[in-house]
Amino acid sequence: MGCNVGNTDQIIRFLLGVLLLLAYFLGWVGGSAGTVALIVGIIFVVTAAIRFCPLYRLFGLSTCGEG
């Protein structure tokens, strides 16, 4: 499991993930949209932390060479 998430991508994923988690936990979104925000937020934060995205691997993408 190599790196396929670059520095800029990592920062963007982390910030969007935190924003989505805040939206869920502060009640900015609710219902199904809140559940989606929670799940996507967790995925973004985790993929930013481990610098690996399974979808990038599936499509043969990598931003690791940048930044």
pLDDT along the chain (67 residues), means of 10: 91 98 96 97 97 94 79
* Percent of the chain as helix, strand, coil, to the nearest 5: 65, 0, 35
Amino acid 66: pLDDT: 58
pTM assigned to the model: 0.89
Amino acid 1: pLDDT: 73
Amino acid 25: pLDDT: 97
Mapped onto helix, strand or coil, the DSSP state of residue 2 is: coil
User: What are the strands, taking DSSP E only, across the chain?
Assistant: none
How far is residue 21 CA from its own chain's centroid? 11
Instruction: Show me where the domains of the chain are located.
Output: 27-67
